[in-house]
Chain A
Amino acid sequence: MIPAAIVFLYLAIVVYIGVFAFRKARGKEEVEDYFLASRSLGPFVFLMSLFGTNMTAFAILGSSGHAFNNGIVTYGLMASSSGLVIPLTIFLIGTRVWALGKRFGFITPVQLFRDRWECSHIGTVIFAVQAALLLPYVIIGMIGGGTTLSVISGGRVPFWLGAAVVALAVMSYVFFGGMRGTAWVNTFQTILFLLFGTVAVVVIGWGMGGFRAASEGLLASPLASLLTRERISPYYFFSYTFIPLSAIAFPHITIFCLTARRMAQFKKTVIFYPVCIMAIWLPCVFLGVMANRAQDVPRIEEKIEARRTLAQQGKAMPPEQRDELRAKMDADDVLLILLDRYAPLWLAGLLGAGVMAAVMASDSQILAISTMFTEDVFAHYGGRERFGEAAQVHLGRAFVVLLTIPAYFIALNAPESIFALAIQYAFSGFAALSPLLVAALFWRGSTRWGALASTLWVAIAVVAVAVFQAAVPAPAPGPPVVAWRLFGLEALARTPGGTAVFGFLPVVPMVLVSALLMVVVSALTPRPGAATLARYFPDRTR
C-alpha cells in the first residue's frame, strides 16, 4: 500500500496547486483570466505545460503497451514523427494563432473561424465536432488513472475507485484554478515524468540483470522481430506521420497557444519539443519491448501466452474468443508491472506518481471543452451580454463538473485499450481537421462552406470507421479481411489492429479528402468580404 499512499500524496499536491492558483486569482471573475491565465504564461511554464498537455496516458502506458506487442517500431511510428511534425506546426500555425488572438481577442479556435469566414452557425457545427472528438481523450485519462492506481496498489484500490479518485482530483484543480492552475499542475507533472523515464530505465535495467543480456536473449528467442520493424508495413509506418497533425488542431493545444505572454516564448518550445518527446518515449518504448524478457512475472507470461495462442490458433477461433485473447494481451499496464516487480516499494510509489502525472493530462481537455462551450455557445448566443462575465466563469466551472461525471461512467465501460481508443477516434479526427487551420491562416480564398464541407467529412469518416470496425470483427494476426476491392487493390480492409484504406491508415484519406474538400468547395463559393480579408492578409489585399 506504500506506493498507493505516495500516489495519493501526489494527488493532494496537485489539488493544492489548483487551489493556490484560485487564491492568486481571487476577485478576478474575468473570462480571460480563468480560461487563458490572462495571456501571461512565461517561457518555462509555457514549454513544460504545452508539452505536458500533449503527453497523455497514451504516451507512457499506451506506448510501452504497444511496444510490448509490436516492438521498437512504436518509437518511429509516433515519437520521432511527432518530434518533427508537432514543433513544425507550432512554429507555423501556433505563432499565427497567438498573434491573431492577441490582436482580435480570440479565446477559442471557433472564434477565429467565425471571424475569419464571417459565419455563425457553421462555427457551432465545428464546435460540436471538436467537442465530440475531444471527449475520448478525457476518457483515456480516466481509464489510465484507474489502471495506474489499481496496479500500483496491487489491486486493493479497484479500477472504478482509482478512476473516480483521479477524476475528482482533476475536476477539483481545473474547477478552482482554471488555465493558471492547469498550467502549473502540468508543469509540475511534466518535470515528474521527465525524471520518471530515466529512473525507471535504471531501476528496471538493474533489476533485470542488465539490458545487454536482455537484448541478446530477446534476439536469440522467437520474439527477435520485436527488435526490428518487420511486424509493420512501410505503408502503415508512413501513415502515422499524418497523426501528429492532430496536435495543433486539438482545441486545448490551439487555446494553449493563446496563453503565452510574448511570441518569443514559442522559441524554446519549438526547439526542445523533439528532445522532450525523446526523453519520455525512448525509455517507455525500450522498457515495453524488454518486458518480453520478464517471463518470470506471471502477469507478463499470461500476455505473451495469449499473443502466441492468437497468432497460432486465431484463424480457427470465433471473433469473441479472439477478442478475449486480445483483452488478455493488452499491455497498457506492463510498465507498472515491471515497476511492481523490480523497483523497491517507496520508489515504485514515486515512479507511480510519475506515471500518474502523465495519465492526468486530461485536465486541459476538460478545461478546453468548458472554454469552448461558454465562449462558442453561451457567449456567442448572447449569454454574456444578458448575464455578465462573472456568470460565464461560474458556468465554465459548472461545466467542468457536468463533463467529468459522464466521462467517468463511460470510462468504466470503455472496452478498447488506451492506445486504440486514442488513435482511432480523437487523433485521426483532429488530424483531418487541421486543413481548417491551414486554410484560415494561409489561404485568402478559403470560405465558410469549404470549412463546413471539411468538418462534415471528418464527422462522417470517424463514424464510418467506427461502424465498419464494429460490423467486421478484427481478424487473427496475418492477412486482413478485405471488404472492398478496386482494380485488384485492397481498397478497404479490416486489419487485426483496425482499418486499412489501400494499405494506409484511415487518417491518410481523411486528411487528404478534408483538404481537397476545403479547396474545391471554397473555389465554388463566395469569399469573405474585402474588409475581413484586409484584416487577415493586409499585405496582399488590394
Chain B
Amino acid sequence: MRRALLVLAVAALYVLHQDVWFWRSARPLVFGFVPVGLFYHACFSVAASLVMWLLVSHAWPAHLEEEAERGRRGGRGTE
C-alpha cells in the first residue's frame, strides 16, 4: 500500500509538470516580478524534493547494501 502511494505521488508529479493551465499567462507576477509560470515550476522543484524525501524515508533499498557487503564475486563472461 505504501509503495503504491509513493508510485502514485511520483506519477502525479510527472502529470503536474505538464501545466497547460499557465501556458499563455504571465500574470500574476509573484512578488511583483516573477511570472506565474516560472513561479509554478520553482514550486514544482521544491515539491520534487519533498517526494524524493518520502522515497528515501519509506522505500530505501537497504537490502542492496547488505548484498554488496557480501564482497566481490563472479567473473566476466565471454561471447
Residues of A participating in the B interface, judged by any CB pair closer than 8 Å: 72-73, 75-76, 79-81, 83-84, 87-88, 91, 95-96, 98-100, 102-105, 111, 114-115, 117-122, 210-212, 214-216, 219, 224, 227-230, 234, 237-238, 241, 262-264, 267, 270-275, 277-278, 282, 285-286, 380, 448, 528, 532, 535, 538
CB pair B37–A83 under 8 Å, yes or no, is no
CA distance A125 to B46 in the complex (A): 40
Knowing A95-B64, A99-B68 are in contact, say whether A528-B77 is a contact too (CB < 8 A). yes
Tell me the minimal C-beta distance from B48 to chain A in angstroms.
4
Knowing A99-B65, A234-B18, A271-B49 are in contact, say whether A118-B78 is a contact too (CB < 8 A). yes
Which residues from chain B contact A117 at a C-beta distance below 8 Å? Answer: 77
CB pair A72–B64 under 8 Å, yes or no, is no
Chain B positions 68 through 79: 1 when the CB is less than 8 Å from some CB of chain A, otherwise 0: 111111111111
Q: Across the two chains, which residue of chain B brings its CB closest to A85? A: B14
CB pair A229–B72 under 8 Å, yes or no, is no
CB pair B77–A83 under 8 Å, yes or no, is no
* Other A-B pairs, 19, CB within 8 Å; known A115-B74, A211-B33: A76-B19, A98-B64, A99-B67, A103-B71, A103-B74, A119-B77, A119-B79, A215-B29, A229-B37, A238-B18, A267-B60, A271-B49, A273-B49, A274-B48, A275-B46, A278-B45, A282-B38, A286-B34, A535-B74
CB pair A72–B35 under 8 Å, yes or no, is yes
CB pair B45–A114 under 8 Å, yes or no, is no
Tell me the minimal C-beta distance from B32 to chain A in angstroms.
4
CB pair A120–B65 under 8 Å, yes or no, is no
CB pair B41–A76 under 8 Å, yes or no, is yes
Which residues from chain B contact A76 at a C-beta distance below 8 Å? Answer: 17, 19, 37, 41, 44
Tell me the minimal C-beta distance from B9 to chain A in angstroms.
11
Q: Does B2 contact A (CB under 8 A)?
A: no
Which residues from chain B contact A99 at a C-beta distance below 8 Å? Answer: 64-65, 67-68
Q: Across the two chains, which residue of chain B brings its CB closest to A227? A: B26
Tell me the minimal C-beta distance from A526 to chain B in angstroms.
12
CB pair A103–B67 under 8 Å, yes or no, is yes
CB pair A241–B14 under 8 Å, yes or no, is yes
Tell me the minimal C-beta distance from A54 to chain B in angstroms.
15
CB pair A271–B67 under 8 Å, yes or no, is no
Chain B positions 31 through 69: 1 when the CB is less than 8 Å from some CB of chain A, otherwise 0: 011110110011011101101110110001100110111
Q: Across the two chains, which residue of chain A brings its CB closest to B45? A: A278
CA distance A96 to B74 in the complex (A): 17
Which residues from chain A contact B76 at a C-beta distance below 8 Å? Answer: 111, 114-115, 120, 380
Tell me the minimal C-beta distance from A55 to chain B in angstroms.
15
CA distance A76 to B48 in the complex (A): 13
CA distance A230 to B20 in the complex (A): 10
CB pair B65–A535 under 8 Å, yes or no, is no
CB pair A83–B48 under 8 Å, yes or no, is yes
Pick the contact of A84: B14, B24, B26, B77 (CB < 8 A).
B14
Question: Can you offer 20 A-B residue contacts whose CB atoms are under 8 A?
Answer: A84-B13, A95-B64, A103-B67, A103-B68, A103-B70, A103-B74, A105-B72, A115-B75, A119-B77, A120-B79, A212-B32, A215-B33, A215-B34, A215-B35, A241-B17, A263-B64, A278-B42, A286-B38, A380-B76, A448-B79
Which residues from chain B contact A212 at a C-beta distance below 8 Å? Answer: 29, 32-33
Tell me the minimal C-beta distance from A82 to chain B in angstroms.
9
CA distance A96 to B77 in the complex (A): 20
Q: Does B10 contact A (CB under 8 A)?
A: yes
Q: Across the two chains, which residue of chain A brings its CB closest to B78? A: A120
Knowing A224-B26, A274-B46, A528-B77 are in contact, say whether A91-B56 is a contact too (CB < 8 A). yes
Pick the contact of A83: B18, B45, B72 (CB < 8 A).
B45
CB pair B23–A84 under 8 Å, yes or no, is no
Which residues from chain A contact B17 at a C-beta distance below 8 Å? Answer: 76, 80-81, 84, 241
Q: Across the two chains, which residue of chain A brings its CB closest to B64? A: A99
CA distance A158 to B66 in the complex (A): 54
Which residues from chain B contact A282 at a C-beta distance below 8 Å? Answer: 38, 42, 45
Which residues from chain B contact A277 at a C-beta distance below 8 Å? Answer: 45
CB pair A278–B46 under 8 Å, yes or no, is yes
Knowing A72-B35, A211-B33 are in contact, say whether A118-B77 is a contact too (CB < 8 A). yes
Which residues from chain B contact A278 at a C-beta distance below 8 Å? Answer: 42, 45-46
Which residues from chain A contact B74 at a C-beta distance below 8 Å? Answer: 103-104, 115, 535
Pick the contact of B52: A228, A229, A274, A532 (CB < 8 A).
A274
CA distance A272 to B53 in the complex (A): 9
CA distance A121 to B76 in the complex (A): 12
Which residues from chain B contact A122 at a C-beta distance below 8 Å? Answer: 79
Tell me the minimal C-beta distance from B59 to chain A in angstroms.
8
Which residues from chain A contact B48 at a C-beta distance below 8 Å? Answer: 80, 83-84, 87, 274
Pick the contact of A229: B23, B61, B77 (CB < 8 A).
B23
Knowing A104-B73, A234-B18 are in contact, say whether A79-B41 is a contact too (CB < 8 A). yes
